[in-house]
Amino acid sequence: MSNDELTDNIVAFVRQCGHATDPASAARSRGWLDEHDRPTHEGRALIETLMQQTRYGAYRLVG
Protein backbone atom coordinates (compact mmCIF):
# COMPACT_ATOMS: atom_id res chain seq x y z
CA MET A 1 0.00 0.00 0.00
CA SER A 2 1.39 3.40 -0.94
CA ASN A 3 1.94 6.22 1.55
CA ASP A 4 -0.98 8.12 -0.02
CA GLU A 5 -3.29 5.13 0.43
CA LEU A 6 -2.13 4.65 4.02
CA THR A 7 -2.69 8.35 4.76
CA ASP A 8 -6.17 8.23 3.22
CA ASN A 9 -7.06 5.18 5.32
CA ILE A 10 -5.71 6.72 8.52
CA VAL A 11 -7.66 9.93 7.92
CA ALA A 12 -10.81 7.92 7.11
CA PHE A 13 -10.43 5.97 10.37
CA VAL A 14 -9.97 9.15 12.39
CA ARG A 15 -13.10 10.61 10.74
CA GLN A 16 -15.02 7.46 11.72
CA CYS A 17 -13.89 8.03 15.30
CA GLY A 18 -15.62 11.41 15.31
CA HIS A 19 -12.87 13.84 14.34
CA ALA A 20 -14.44 15.14 11.12
CA THR A 21 -13.36 18.78 11.56
CA ASP A 22 -9.61 18.19 11.16
CA PRO A 23 -8.87 14.46 10.97
CA ALA A 24 -5.26 14.92 9.81
CA SER A 25 -4.50 17.04 12.88
CA ALA A 26 -6.10 14.43 15.14
CA ALA A 27 -4.03 11.69 13.44
CA ARG A 28 -0.86 13.74 13.92
CA SER A 29 -1.64 14.25 17.60
CA ARG A 30 -1.92 10.47 18.01
CA GLY A 31 1.36 9.89 16.19
CA TRP A 32 -0.21 8.13 13.18
CA LEU A 33 0.92 10.85 10.73
CA ASP A 34 4.12 12.89 10.84
CA GLU A 35 4.36 16.68 10.43
CA HIS A 36 4.26 16.24 6.62
CA ASP A 37 1.11 14.05 6.80
CA ARG A 38 3.04 10.88 5.97
CA PRO A 39 2.19 7.69 7.86
CA THR A 40 4.45 6.88 10.81
CA HIS A 41 5.39 3.39 11.96
CA GLU A 42 2.46 3.57 14.39
CA GLY A 43 0.12 4.66 11.58
CA ARG A 44 1.22 1.73 9.43
CA ALA A 45 0.69 -0.63 12.37
CA LEU A 46 -2.80 0.82 12.92
CA ILE A 47 -3.84 0.15 9.33
CA GLU A 48 -2.28 -3.33 9.33
CA THR A 49 -4.23 -4.17 12.48
CA LEU A 50 -7.48 -2.77 11.10
CA MET A 51 -7.03 -4.74 7.89
CA GLN A 52 -6.79 -7.93 9.94
CA GLN A 53 -10.15 -7.31 11.60
CA THR A 54 -13.07 -9.49 10.55
CA ARG A 55 -16.23 -8.03 9.12
CA TYR A 56 -17.61 -8.18 12.65
CA GLY A 57 -14.86 -5.89 13.94
CA ALA A 58 -15.29 -2.26 14.91
CA TYR A 59 -13.97 -1.00 11.58
CA ARG A 60 -13.15 -2.62 8.26
CA LEU A 61 -11.21 -1.02 5.44
CA VAL A 62 -12.76 -1.44 2.05
CA GLY A 63 -10.43 -1.86 -0.86
pLDDT in tens, 33-55: 999 999 999 999 999 988 887 55
Burial class (CB in 10 A: 0-12, 13-18, 19+), 48: exposed
Extents of the domains making up the chain: 3-52
Q: What is the pLDDT of residues 6-34, one digit of tens each?
A: 999 999 999 999 888 999 999 999 999 99
Q: Calculate the average pLDDT of the chain.
A: 87
Tell me the percentage of the chain whose pLDDT exceeds 90.
67
pTM, two decimals, is: 0.80
- The values of phi and psi at residue 60, to 5°, are -130, 130
State the pLDDT at residue 41: 97
Cα torsion angle, 25, 29, 34, 35, sign: positive
State the pLDDT at residue 63: 46
State the pLDDT at residue 59: 55
